[in-house]
Structure 1
């Protein structure tokens, strides 16, 4: 790391931490948010009611990304810590990270839902039309990870859009000080590989090659669930193209 980048990282750590209100995992809320900000209305989020073939067959195709909500508890925190240590020591073995991956590190508290959404859109740019998300992705393409942090933290329009969506869910909205007990992650296909894009982890994770995105993604998500089989706090949404629009 260069001296300039080190200074920039130090400055970002010294700034007061921003905290937003958590997004509800509600396709209606997410669809309103993305369509009002330039995403092609043929592309929508859909609830995934199960990972069995019958449930998955009801989803429109193609599916470009899956947003996964998992419990952020002691068990998941311990796994994330061990996973990070392993990657630092051993790297990601044969699964190198493609230069085409656009990754955003999360520094805003309770913003994991928005981070997952931006990851889904930034790595599937064909869904974007003129608007907020297109502008963010276009600016971020030539930026470093630290520069992308500043881009998101300083974007007042993004903060307003996020707040409006967070306050429009079906459940009573939490406050910014509410402790988040869940975390969102985006899974998408880039260069024929399944990527986990979770801004809280600090780096993209390549889960290997795939001939069928949905099938491979479901396998990886199943591993999350198997690590905490007694927990019921998992859910998922698919970003898919509807033929009915």
Structure 2
């Protein structure tokens, strides 16, 4: 392994199994196709959301004195998990951890991380991530980012969901047209405050008081304002919510149909994740050669003879 971090897709199935493979229990992601607060509230308990957007290149992104929305809370970085982003291609996993590590049921924010309301306020993040969190919380944000980049567990799990790319498009290197860059950030209520956690910013961004029951309305207001800063033609956004495993709720309610739907969704996600990792070049080549061989054996007109 080269030690680098590969790009992963913004997909609920990818992020759910990434959570599970990191050791977190009874938690998943759901993709949101609307900014209606009621849709998010229906998934309660909601631990946070991850937002993907086009990285702006027409102006400096990282603020130094005041963000475009909200206020920097430098002291919060000492109380909650916030890490500076020090590596490329890992912002999705870093956003995931920004929510997850602030919801540790046994950690400092366990009982109050979602406003201190409801039994679903915390997550069992597992032994490995709990040890990572406990180790890094004594460090400043920039060193937390370095610790994350050097974590073999987190990097290996992240890279296990990288999409296979057997072909290299040389035109992308010489066309002169810059590729659009995208960035993940997290929003989560921690100790009664709605925080925006973005490793490219100098500190957590506070968006004011927020309990678990207020989170759907307040976070959607923030996202609406953020999206409004883009041109109307820009629609490349993605929003996923980190919620309690929906199978748990189905079992608690005795809803067999809902449970089967969720189990089928997991099976579909597993199949899709396997396809993402598989390189089909060899398979396609074997099929093509088989077709050509079959045609030639049938006495083709010679059109296939040039195929190597």
Q: State whether TM-score is above 0.5.
A: yes
Q: CA deviation at 1:136?
A: 1.7
Q: Which runs of 5+ in 2 are unaligned?
A: 106-122, 174-178, 252-308
Q: CA deviation at 1:131?
A: 4.2
* Match of residue 80 from structure 1: 61
* Match of residue 144 from structure 1: 140
What are the equivalent positions in structure 2 for 1:96-245 lying under 5 Å apart?
Answer: 97-98=75-76, 99-126=78-105, 127-167=123-163, 181-211=181-211, 212-228=214-230, 229-241=232-244, 242=246, 243-244=249-250
Deviation string 1:131-182 (CA, Å, 9 cap, x unpaired) is: 44233212112222233133122222221111102237xxx6998x996611
1:43/1:173 Cα in 2 relative to 1: closer, same or farther (>3 Å)? Answer: farther
| RMSD, aligned CA | 2.8
Is 2:16 the partner of 1:31?
A: yes
Q: CA deviation at 1:68?
A: 0.5
* Match of residue 53 from structure 2: 70
- Tell me how far apart the structure 1 counterparts of residues 166 and 91 of structure 2 sit (CA, whole Å): 16
Contact 2:19/2:27 (CA < 8 Å) preserved in 1?
Answer: no
Q: CA deviation at 1:231?
A: 0.7
Contact 2:21/2:157 (CA < 8 Å) preserved in 1?
Answer: no
Which protein has greater RCO, CA pairs closer than 8 Å, 6+ apart?
Answer: 1
More moved, 205-214 vs 137-146: 137-146
- Tell me how far apart the structure 1 counterparts of residues 166 and 180 of structure 2 sit (CA, whole Å): 12
Contact 1:110/1:180 (CA < 8 Å) preserved in 2?
Answer: no
* Match of residue 6 from structure 1: none
- Tell me how far apart the structure 2 counterparts of residues 187 and 233 of structure 1 sit (CA, whole Å): 19
State the SS of the aligned residue for 2:250: coil
- Tell me how far apart the structure 1 counterparts of residues 240 and 233 of structure 2 sit (CA, whole Å): 21
Contact 1:21/1:173 (CA < 8 Å) preserved in 2?
Answer: no
- Tell me how far apart the structure 1 counterparts of residues 141 and 47 of structure 2 sit (CA, whole Å): 23
1:69/1:173 Cα in 2 relative to 1: closer, same or farther (>3 Å)? Answer: farther
> TM-score, with normalisation over the residues of structure 2?
0.62
State the SS of the aligned residue for 2:47: strand
Query: How many residue pairs end up in the alignment?
Result: 215
State the SS of the aligned residue for 1:244: helix
- Tell me how far apart the structure 1 counterparts of residues 51 and 34 of structure 2 sit (CA, whole Å): 12
- Tell me how far apart the structure 2 counterparts of residues 204 and 121 of structure 1 sit (CA, whole Å): 15
- Tell me how far apart the structure 1 counterparts of residues 180 and 5 of structure 2 sit (CA, whole Å): 11
* Match of residue 112 from structure 2: none
Deviation string 1:87-122 (CA, Å, 9 cap, x unpaired) is: 29xx938x6743422110001112110110110111
Q: CA deviation at 1:221?
A: 0.7
Deviation string 1:56-95 (CA, Å, 9 cap, x unpaired) is: 35x42110110001111325xx2634xx14329xx938x6
State the SS of the aligned residue for 2:8: coil
